Amino acid sequence: MESVYINVGGTLFQTNLSTLQKYPDTLLGSLAISSEFYNKEHEQFYFDRNPELFNTVLDYYRNDVIHLPTHLCGWLWKSELEFWKIPLAHISECCFQIYVKYEKEATATKLRETFAQPDTFPNMLDGLWWSVVTMTTVGYDDMYPKGPLGRVVEAACAMIGILVIAMPIAVIAGNFDDLHKTNNDRESYNSVSEREESRKNRIN
């Protein structure tokens, strides 16, 4: 079994090549002597990354799942996972909320920075326009048409979107209410049937 030596930020790690090759699409899974990260003089791969984080990265290849330490920020982990080419889908279910929380915080920070600019919304109407096109998904954040012609097209798309959503919503809501009542009736029936069956079994 061939051993691989990996130097991460001055800390030397040792593992088996077969362990890394379980995920050939990742950076470590595709390592080769011809790689730019290979140091021929020391016969090891060198990465100028945080060695504390690498323990968790290496455990991914051993345990087939990523567990994110809670004492480190989400941005740091996003950067590491992108560098090592590890899919986000491999984050463990118990830790995925940490990453999701970071994504939400990053979005909120970006919005705060956008709103902090004095020329972002010169008046209330511009702010209202931004909220409408964002909610109707015609635009998003700072990505939306700002010229006269663009606003005409944008308004038309927003109106069409509102109509498309508004027309079926009453039908969907009505059907949902009917299905919910039917499901409750079914559960009540099953409960009564189970009690009746249990009573018959006790009598017998």
Rounded to whole angstroms, the Cα distance separating 73 from 34 reads 34
pLDDT in the model for residue 178: 78
Distance in angstroms (rounded) separating the CA atoms of residues 110 and 96: 21
- The first and second tokens of residue 153, run together, are 């097209």
pLDDT tens figures, 94-148: 777 777 777 777 666 666 665 555 565 666 666 666 666 666 665 555 566 666 7
How far, in Å, CA of 171 to CA of 173, rounded? 5
- Does residue 72 register a pLDDT over 90? no
Q: What value does the mean pLDDT take over residues 145-167?
A: 74
pLDDT band at 12 (very low <50, low <70, confident <90, very high): very high
pTM beyond 0.85, yes or no: no
The span from the CA of 19 to the CA of 31, in Å, is 12
Write down all domains in the chain, each with its CATH number in brackets.
3-109 (3.30.710.10), 123-203 (1.10.287)
Pairing of strands 44-47, 38-39: antiparallel
- Report d(CA 150, CA 105) in Å as an integer: 31
**pLDDT higher than 80, residue 17:** yes
What per-residue confidence (pLDDT) applies to 140? 55
Quote the percentage of the chain above a pLDDT of 90.
25
Burial of 37 (0-12, 13-18, 19+ CB in 10 A): middle
